[in-house]
Amino acid sequence: MSRSTFTVRLLGASATLLLAAACGNSAATTATHDAGISAIKSAPGGVLGVATTSLGPVLVDSKGFTVYMLTADSPGHSTCSAQCVQYWPLVSAPAGSGVPPVQGVGAALAATKATTGASMVTAGGWPLYTFVKDKAPGDVAGEGVKTFGGTWYAVSPSGKAVTAPATTTPATSSGASGVRDGYGY
């Protein structure tokens, strides 16, 4: 075997090992997310669960995405308009007789009507939302965003706003206009 053939085979083997290692890390990440999601799916009603993020334990929806509250809202009352809901989708309440309790969630869970008329979940009275810029379970891109008349915070299992600084730097607003990362809201 020539030296160039040996080098090509060695590089090919190295690339294969790197690819396998990357897939292994991805599988570990997926397994971690799947473990959190399966715990959520096993919760009564499958509406909410608890997951640990860079902010600590927070409420998550049935897909494992971080749940937020808006300081412009008040207990039992959503101020999020139709435009707002495009960026901050509601955590929809299950049809039927209310929101069942979820293990690990100390906040009282209930339902209220959004400004759109849809039924949405509340925790400790606060209407709950997700954020379109959270792309994977555990993301907290909405933490501290100031828009739609208030500030958005992840929600703790006790139903309170998580206002402690994250261990990772959250995205920041690009000025007082409320324009954030290209979203003009």
Residue 36 lies in a domain: no
Residue 2 lies in a domain: no
Q: Which of 93-97, 109-113, 115-119, 149-153 has the highest mean pLDDT?
A: 149-153
Average pLDDT over residues 123-139: 97
Q: Is residue 143 part of a domain?
A: yes
Report the number of distinct structural domains present in the chain: 1
Which residues constitute the domain of residue 152? Answer: 43-184
Per cent of the chain over pLDDT 90 is 56
Least Cα distance to 123 among 170, 57, 37 occurs for 57
Q: Which range, 21-25, 103-107, 179-183, is most confident?
A: 103-107
> Is 38 a domain residue?
no
CA distance 182 to 122: 29
3-state secondary structure of 152: strand
CB atoms within 10 A of CB 58: 23
For residue 153, is pLDDT > 80?
Answer: yes
What is the model's pLDDT at position 165? 61
- How far apart (Å, rounded) are the C-alpha atoms in residues 88 and 149? 13
Tokens at 71, concatenated? 């300081």
Give the residue-averaged pLDDT of 30-44: 36
pLDDT band at 101 (very low <50, low <70, confident <90, very high): confident
User: What is the mean pLDDT of the segment spanning 38-52?
Assistant: 61
Global pTM value? 0.67
Residue 55 falls within a domain, yes or no? yes
Residue 92 domain-assigned?
yes
Predicted pLDDT at 113: 93
Residue 88 has pLDDT above 50, yes or no: yes
Q: Given a cut of 90, is residue 96 above it in pLDDT?
A: no
